[in-house]
Amino acid sequence: MSREPKSVKKPLRIILDSNALFMPLQFKIDIFEELRSIAGTNYEFVLLSPVLHELEQLSEEGKAKLKKDASDASELAKRCRIISVDQPDESTVDDVIVKVAAEWKTLVFTNDRQLRKRLRNINVPVIYVRQKSKLEIEGRL
């Protein structure tokens, strides 16, 4: 008699934009610990390849402080799963995040107001820093 394996629930992905990786540097908060506390344990932190590329460019081409911050943010990015996605020539990194988040029906962590608004308009829940000290979820899955 064979037993069927118990279904293992896949972790829900949380897409981080580059802005999210600057938050620990700006507000001195551990975003990964905060994300776990509000999202639970069955989540996977994801960085899309265009976001990683954006961080790499900033760490090479920005002004001194921006270069250092981008380099530190790139170190934090190592704690995320990097997922390779295409970025069409005419699209921005934000365009890619919006498209992927809508397809995956998943959370996005950003403090970028324009990106948050675009995500809200398509009913994608957003995690953001509130009062410079805590994370909050806006919307529902």
Alpha carbon distance 133, 34 (integer Å): 10
For the chain, which residues make up each domain, given as ranges? 12-138
> What pTM was computed for the model?
0.87
Q: Is the pLDDT score of 41 beyond 90?
A: no
- Summarize the confidence of residues 100-121 as an average pLDDT: 95
CATH superfamily of the 12-138 domain: 5'-nuclease (3.40.50.1010)
pLDDT tens string 24-38: 888 888 888 888 787
Q: Which helix (H) or strand (E) holds 45?
A: strand 43-48
Q: Which helix (H) or strand (E) holds 18?
A: helix 18-27
